Structure 1
Amino acid sequence: MNLLRDRFLFLDCQTTAANPVLGSILEIAWCDSSASEQQPGKIQCKLVSQPDKKEIPFRIQVITGISDEEMVNAVHEREIYFSLKKHCAENQINAAVVHYASFEKPFLHELFEKHGDEPFPLDLICTYQIARRLFPNLPTRGIRGLGGFFGASNCELKRSSHHVEMTFSIWQGLVAELAKQGIYSVEELRDWLKEPVKTKRTKYQYPLESEKRLSLPDKPGVYKMMNARGEILYVGKATSLKSRVNSYFRGQRNKDPRKLEMLTQTHNIDHIECGSALEAAILETDEIKRHDPPYNYSLKRKQRQLAFFDENLSSMSYIQSIDHPIGPFSGHFALEQFTRVHTWLTTGEDDPLIFFDEVPTDLISSGFELFCAEHNLDPTLLATPRDLMAFCIRFIRKSARLSQQSNGEATNPLDTGEPDDDDLEDEDSDDSLVEYTPEDVSGKFGRLFKRIAKSYLRGKVLTRLLNSRIIFQEKSKIRRLEVRSGEIVHSDDSLELKNAAKEQLWQNLDVMTYDRISVLLSEIIRMRAAGQNVIIEPDMPLSIVSHQII
């Protein structure tokens, strides 16, 4: 068989486990093409119904995006067997190209042996094994990294149809490289793979020309890593563009596999210089939302919506209005635990999921009693949601003062009583344990009340920053940022401050603005912690804060 001209089956499986003993095929896709064609042939892709209607493991749902609801269109694996066998026979296909054949092979053999009493009939050619020999110094040879190296587009979710497209692109690239080695047929390829490996791996080799990264300026800014098609893979910020970007390419030990995968595909870098690291951080969040790069996790828009509450904290809206002025909150789940706690306090109804991880209801009661005793709290004073929120705010401010007295550290970065992020613990690492004590639950209540207060106070701080001036020093120069309706503007721009008496400041703003101002807040906290002097001049009518609780 000729590697360039003959047709091969390109195939990929997504499964629920690492082998057919523990799981089954969830999705399968295939097409037949030759490396001489510009595009792969028509791809057939099918979801496969699960044995005994088993639910898809949550981890698999996350990486594939396949939900149980989507499985209503799934077909029985028997149909997959007949369709695949018929396709190979009608098109006279003798070999299949699979990226990591040792993974797919047992699933394919199990499918054919179960429904046809025969092994999978095609010879399997593994592109991974070929790439290991041809490109020993590539950072990674996984399907996403290698596909991007050869110019294929990437996708966040692992779906079979996209992997078939990438396998085809990889095959085209490998066939061209094999021709340089004098290998043109499957038989020659088999013989070559049997030979001892002649080239040993040394240091990583990247597709990005070193001159492009070494010539970057030693200034703050935003950088964009791009693949061969010019598609943006990742957006990052830097105090020094030259130092930050080149740090990705130094050293080989303990490298993040995801970063190596990205660097294997990075053929070019674009950048935007900024006047300061603060401005770079703000620009980064906008660029991430503008381009939605596959290798950025944080600051993406996704399906997020801001949430606002009424003054009684009992009703929620996605739009700020006179009836729902309190916010913004990062989503409708922001006060879910707050609502659960208040409902439990006022109705006495058992709720083992107040903390989301299940806790026995008797321990919730005894733990709360202990918390009240430790903090001299009379629970009858928490009759309304506003009463509970007011206590949460007093509690976090008291905790901040005690922390400052004991550590001598500033805990009030923006004069709001909001401590740094590090002062607010996540749930204990022991939460996975089955056994709890009242002391454990008392501590959980304390951390929960801090998180509730922080969500509320954060909305106040972000609203103050929404229209403000930020004055700071950057390398001996005084810089001034004007913020208008959450946009960073130049001092000579003519954006006017909204009239707060007529409309709420967040009314027409979304997650993009929320993240931009959140990043601004984080950078101010970071700069102050580093000893930099940052002056904030809020430009906000007092009527805006008329809904404050205390």
Structure 2
Amino acid sequence: MVPGSRSEPLSQLEVLVVDCQATAAAPRGHLLEIGWARVSTTVTYPHACLIALPDGEQIPPAVSRITGISEHMMRAAVDRQLAWRALCDQAASLTQQPAPTVIHFARFEQPFLRTLAAGVFPLDVVCTRDIARRLLPNLPRCSLRALAGYFGRAVGALRRSADHVEATAFVWHELVRLLKTKGVSTWSGLHDWLGAPVEPTRSRRRVWPMPRDVRLSLPHASGIYRMLRTDGSVLYVGKAASLHHRVNSYFRKQNGVPERLLEMLSQARALSFDVTPSPLEAALLEPDEIKRHRSPYNVALTIQDRALWFTSPDLSARSPEPSPHCPLGPFASTVTLDRFGAFSRAQRAALASGSRGPDDGTYTAGYDRQCATHPELSRVDLSEHAKLLRLGTRLWREGRRDRDVDEDDPNETGRGLTVWTPEFVQVSLEWLALRAALARRRAIWLTRLFDSIVVWREPGDSCARLIVIENGEFVLSRTVDADATPTIPPGYRRPVAARREAFTLGSFDRLRVLTTELKRLIAAGAPVALRLGVGPALDESRLASALWWV
């Protein structure tokens, strides 16, 4: 192969784009996947292959979560030298040699690739992250996801080589356009530019891609807002009592900003919003907007495998559909149900599993302390599940709530724990009983809300608002007199079994949000009334008592 001219314009130069995934950084980690593609003015279809791990090595759980690569998938893995030879064949087919190669964050990939080469290295590597940090010194983050989003392209949630190759090629084309404005138009010129010292140009304060006048023009009104990439795709959906204050609060903080937020704000270049008559209605609109746009930075409501579950009255059995045997629900998490079931069988899986949980001896000692402490657990006229539900209810009544409880949080038990003791096992089991009993009460409460009417007045407002919930949907909202009271809900005759059969994830999330908003209004001392049927409406006092339990 005759070496090609190093003066060919970058915009026309064919390059090799490479990406690697590994179990950890070199030298400790092992290659897990390699992907590559030849790229000129367009991107050829990327090729990627899984790499067989050395004998005895497994994919760490954290790596499996972020890549989606399972041990089962690794049955199709190939020997790393076989993959390297295929990559080298592609590199050798390029006109220019050594092959001009583009990698994002090349410091991670190069040690693996040089180990594979074990001799003459056939790749002439430049790093898109290094280029971007010089071209865009004030961009908060230059990760591949942040850069691709800044230029208007989404990157998949899972870290897979084929997707990252395409994203790197996209970023490369955008950077080539910016390099041309700096007078850098050839491969050799790019190397010279990267090798030259650079004057520090980073601002002492964070500079955000979002135009300042765009965010400052937002109204002082309640509503929902959407953070957008340049292509109009939605990064994040949020709600606000004041759109102006909420959105601008993202851009005021200079220190201690979470990495994930910095990554999102590196991509956000535009905004869209909808004004709502009240903060409550903004909150109710938000979950449906998140599901509609599947915004990547709204994690909780966009998990693909979310599902509703129904259980027997004592939570001992579960089903994806309500039935005479499993009439109670809905529940959105099986984690609490599974751990509660393990607790009723005195199994260690009630707490964290594997190395995160207590050993058998410590668990047994803690479980025995639990049984000796609480009289409910010695009753012979109740099932094991019923005993634990009674315990959880009593603990709640006694105020055993030293932190917020979320029955859908699978990682609550044992979070941050380094040493398990029998005493901590007992406390964790009590917490599990409390959380299971709470999940049961919330399921009953949401079923009651399924057909209801709410009248409320936001703090400082002179008029009240009314919303009608029918079949889990918000079918009507309007302004009413300040002293208005809710009428009988139109769907009050709907049987409980029919309500449970009609539940969807959408109605479940809306009614959970409504519950949170009712708590907010009660805490603020705002006038609010809820009507669930032909009986009198629950005023602030009675509603506060009902909400205390859920």
Change (3 A) 1:317 1:515: same
From 342, 345, 351, give the equivalent of 1:355. Answer: 351
> Residue in 1 aligned with 2:122?
121
> Residue in 2 aligned with 1:151?
152
> How many equivalent pairs are there?
510
**Equivalent pair of 1:301/1:511 in contact (CA under 8 Å):** no
Shift of 1:519: 1.4
> Residue in 1 aligned with 2:456?
472
> Residue in 2 aligned with 1:300?
302
> Residue in 2 aligned with 1:13?
20
Percentage identity across paired residues of the two chains: 34
From 269, 279, 303, give the equivalent of 1:267. Answer: 269
> Residue in 2 aligned with 1:102?
107
Secondary structure, aligned partner of 2:512? helix
Change (3 A) 1:361 1:264: closer
> Residue in 2 aligned with 1:235?
237
Deviation sequence 1:199-251 (CA, Å, 0-9, x none): 42003333332222111111111111111211111111111111111112223
Secondary structure, aligned partner of 2:336? coil
**Equivalent pair of 1:109/1:120 in contact (CA under 8 Å):** yes
Deviation sequence 1:347-388 (CA, Å, 0-9, x none): xxxx23232344455554544444344443351336425632
Deviation sequence 1:69-98 (CA, Å, 0-9, x none): 111221110111110111111233521011
Change (3 A) 1:134 1:338: closer
> Residue in 2 aligned with 1:49?
52
> Residue in 1 aligned with 2:383?
384
d(CA) in 1 for partners of 2:425 and 2:496? 45
Change (3 A) 1:226 1:298: same
Shift of 1:453: 0.6
Change (3 A) 1:540 1:232: farther
Secondary structure, aligned partner of 1:335? helix
Change (3 A) 1:8 1:314: same
Matches within 5 A, 1:165-244: 165-202=166-203, 203-244=205-246
d(CA) in 2 for partners of 1:301 and 1:468? 28
Secondary structure, aligned partner of 1:88? helix
**Equivalent pair of 1:151/1:169 in contact (CA under 8 Å):** no
**Equivalent pair of 2:236/2:297 in contact (CA under 8 Å):** yes
User: Are 1:31 and 2:68 matched, yes or no?
Assistant: no
Change (3 A) 1:305 1:173: same
From 498, 515, 521, give the equivalent of 2:515. Answer: 521
> Residue in 1 aligned with 2:82?
79
d(CA) in 2 for partners of 1:50 and 1:422? 39
Amino acid in structure 2 at the alignment position of 1:353: A
d(CA) in 1 for partners of 2:311 and 2:492? 21
> Residue in 1 aligned with 2:472?
486
d(CA) in 1 for partners of 2:114 and 2:534? 69
> Residue in 2 aligned with 1:410?
none
From 251, 254, 264, give the equivalent of 1:252. Answer: 254
**Equivalent pair of 1:221/1:241 in contact (CA under 8 Å):** yes
Give the gaps of 5 or more residues in structure 1.
345-350, 408-418, 543-550
> Residue in 2 aligned with 1:449?
433
**Equivalent pair of 1:223/1:271 in contact (CA under 8 Å):** yes
**Equivalent pair of 2:336/2:432 in contact (CA under 8 Å):** no
TM-score normalised per structure 2: 0.86
Change (3 A) 1:209 1:158: same
Q: Considering only aligned residues, what root-mean-square deviation do their CA atoms show, in Å?
A: 2.8
Secondary structure, aligned partner of 1:269? strand
TM-score normalised per structure 1: 0.86
Change (3 A) 1:80 1:540: farther
d(CA) in 2 for partners of 1:508 and 1:314? 23
Shift of 1:526: 2.6
Deviation sequence 1:437-480 (CA, Å, 0-9, x none): 3x333323321211111111111111121111122212323112
> Residue in 1 aligned with 2:290?
288
Give the gaps of 5 or more residues in structure 2.
1-5, 479-487, 537-550
Deviation sequence 1:470-493 (CA, Å, 0-9, x none): 22212323112211122112158x
Shift of 1:499: 4.8
d(CA) in 1 for partners of 2:446 and 2:303? 18
**Equivalent pair of 1:320/1:504 in contact (CA under 8 Å):** no
Matches within 5 A, 1:507-518: 507-518=501-512
> Residue in 2 aligned with 1:395?
394
d(CA) in 2 for partners of 1:429 and 1:323? 34
Matches within 5 A, 1:354-433: 354-357=350-353, 358-361=357-360, 363-377=362-376, 379-381=378-380, 383-385=382-384, 387-388=386-387, 390-392=389-391, 394-400=393-399, 421=405, 426-427=412-413, 431-433=417-419
Change (3 A) 1:299 1:177: same
Shift of 1:430: 6.8
Deviation sequence 1:173-206 (CA, Å, 0-9, x none): 2111111122211222222222221342003333
d(CA) in 2 for partners of 1:310 and 1:375? 24
